[in-house]
Structure 1
Amino acid sequence: MTKNTHDADVAFIRALAELLNENDLTELQVKRDYAEDDSLNVRVSRKPPQQIIAPQQMQAAPAQMSAAASAPMQATGAGASDAPADPADHPGAVTSPMVGTIYSQAEPGAPAFISVGQLVAEGDTLLIVEAMKTMNHIPAPRAGTIKRIMVADGDAVEFGAPLVILE
């Protein structure tokens, strides 16, 4: 490997680290092929900040969760009292397909895509997840009613994080 390639690799790794910080990502992995037997495989990661989004969301609803926990869980039925303690385990949970930033509206000042109690049709846009400067619309997997919105506009989310409860 020549010095020019080495300098270019260092600049590339620095650029990846900047992307990591700018987009609040915790990990980024890239493989760069130069020739048949020459490649660069880089994983850049950082320890997430002490304040993580998920615990803040859980603090927002302790009264609802304690009421659900005090009632005995039943194996059948779909009432509010038998909702799972972890929102990601809820059968109506719509989870994030990627790491990114949540947007609840198409542009600043526009109305939000959804609100609690709203009826949505299959394929309606629920939220947008911005990942690497790309806006990814999150569609409703089925028709139903929005029971709970787990994220706020501008929140950072991880892969698999619950976004919305749809029943």
Structure 2
Amino acid sequence: MSGVIVSPVAGYLPAQPPLPTPSPFSFSVASTRWSSRPPVQTASLLLRFLALLFSFGSAFSLVALPSTNSKLKKYPGLLYCFTANILSVIYAAYQIFKNICDIAHRGICISDKASDYISFFFDQLAGYVLVSASSVAVPSIKQMEIRSSVWNASVASVCLSFASFIVYVLAAFLSGYKLCKRIMW
């Protein structure tokens, strides 16, 4: 022998190239299970559902009481809050529908690039409209008699509207992340 010592284990193990680590943002066309989705898409769907729930609750609390309909005409701040929440419900329902279609058919409704830009813009717009509606409704609430049923419904509506605003802020961060990921990487 020439003085080189060879390990007996090295003779039995074939040299294997290292396996590539899959990206957490990769998508397998063959699989449509929830577990194969990136967490960003699942989080986006959850945020859209929460925005729909909070906005619907806010709008519903303003019109649930029979005496509230006349109060909406008397207080334009409450009418603006109601309108903003209805628009938020429509936008959240559209985003939920689009996300479910993306999960089922992988982006046939709108291209991913256009969808990222649209979501980023409209999430910020919806957040702005909701926070402005909440702030405009507060002076209307201060003019009402305290602890009446309309006052309670209006306070609940403003609280749910602000919660919807917080959800849209998180959705805007997520949309911004997806947009930056598309532009940068």
TM-score, normalisation: structure 1:
0.28
Larger relative contact order, structure 1 or 2 (CA cutoff 8 Å, min sep 6) = 2
TM-score, normalisation: structure 2:
0.26
Structure with greater proportional strand content: 1
Q: Which has the larger radius of gyration?
A: 2
